[in-house]
Amino acid sequence: MKMNQLFYKRCLRMYAWYSSQRKIWGEPCPKTVAQCLRFILSIARLKFEFYFLDNLYLPYIEIAITTRCTLKCKHCSSYINTIEEKDLYSLTFEEFKRQIDNLLANVKKLHVLKVFGGEPLLNQDLDKILRYSLANKKISNVILTTNGTMDISDKLISIMKEHRKKMYVNLSNYTSNKELSPRLKTIELLNKCKENSIATIFDENLLWRETSEIKYSGRTPKEIRKYFFKCTKRCLHIKKWTLYPCPWAAMYDFKNLYLPSLQIVKNWSAWTKAGGGTIEKIDLSNPVKKETLVRFYSNSDYLACGFCSIIEDNLKKRVIPAIQE
């Protein structure tokens, strides 16, 4: 019961907040009477579905369909710029479909699926990926994130327009980076989406922060848990058949840092065992059990938090986005 309550607190309330908004990204709290009522009703409905009907609702999942990118950004927050050429990959449609199907096998609804990379427009199966995601009745909204260096084909526009009620294009605003001006198609893409009534997410004042080198922080198990509770980046991430608590955790594992760190963090096994065990990641090669998802969302001890520096990086000076190496 305690684990179920944690799942409800961390997952379902976030889902209810998304459901109460007319837009994907709303204000940090309900402001209008209509928003407050929708939020309260969403909470009540989801609580009933979860506790009495045993249905799971997930608020947000993002999936990297490729690690290839048109840019090589110095301060890439996903550390894509640190991946060697031999380790780059792109998902096929069949691989994408199987991972999503296995994840949602015992889930009633996923509110937001974010498709990104790398640069997702480099994936040759993107049309199939978007068509399947948008037609999937378990997925309420789909976001495609692009850096604005590639045109969106008429075929993709047609697919997105057909499902425009649940489709969003998150267009990275790198226009303040004059070095990239000759390569950017930002304004053209915004106009194309507007002409076809496709909703866009666009930060007019986007700035980045410097990123730190990936290394173990020296945190104790207790400090790792405290770091987790301070973090606001609860963006579950799929990379190469695995679900992670965030894209940074995925990158740490991608670089084979997990196994060595088990020996670095003193008393980690004893700490997690005392807390009832922990699930660091979920294998998506087979259908995911409902109990596994509940345990994963209820976890407070992620080894990845021992490497993370996002809280410290957020205190660093702001820089123009997408500075190239």
The tens place of each residue's pLDDT in the chain, 325 residues long, gives 445 667 767 776 666 666 555 455 544 455 677 777 777 787 788 788 888 888 888 889 999 999 999 999 999 988 999 999 999 999 999 999 999 999 999 999 998 999 999 999 999 999 999 999 999 999 999 999 999 999 999 999 999 999 999 999 999 999 999 999 999 999 999 999 999 999 999 999 999 999 998 888 888 888 998 999 888 767 899 999 999 999 999 998 888 887 666 666 767 777 776 655 678 899 999 999 998 998 888 888 888 898 899 899 988 989 999 999 9
φ/ψ of residue 291, rounded to 5: -65, -35
Q: Which CATH number fits domain 56-207: 2.60.120.10, 3.30.70.260, 3.40.50.720, 3.20.20.70?
A: 3.20.20.70
Judging by DSSP bridges, how do beta strands 109-116 and 139-146 pair with one another? parallel
Note whether 272 and 300 are within 8 A (CB): no
Note whether 197 and 206 are within 8 A (CB): no
Contacting residues for 286 by C-beta, under 8 A, at least 6 apart: 102
Cα–Cα dist 165/145, whole Å: 17
Please state, as a whole number, how many other Cβ atoms lie within 10 Å of the Cβ of residue 265: 20
Query: What does the angle CA 104 – CA 197 – CA 203 come to, to the nearest 5 degrees?
Result: 75
Judging by DSSP bridges, how do beta strands 199-201 and 167-171 pair with one another? parallel
Note whether 241 and 283 are within 8 A (CB): yes
Q: Which residue shows structure tokens 């199987």?
A: 98
For residue 131, which amino acid is it?
R
Name the pTM for this structure. 0.91
Q: Where are the domains of the chain?
A: 1-53, 56-207, 221-308
Cα–Cα dist 132/35, whole Å: 30
**Rg of the chain on CA atoms, in Å:** 20
Contacting residues for 194 by C-beta, under 8 A, at least 6 apart: 200
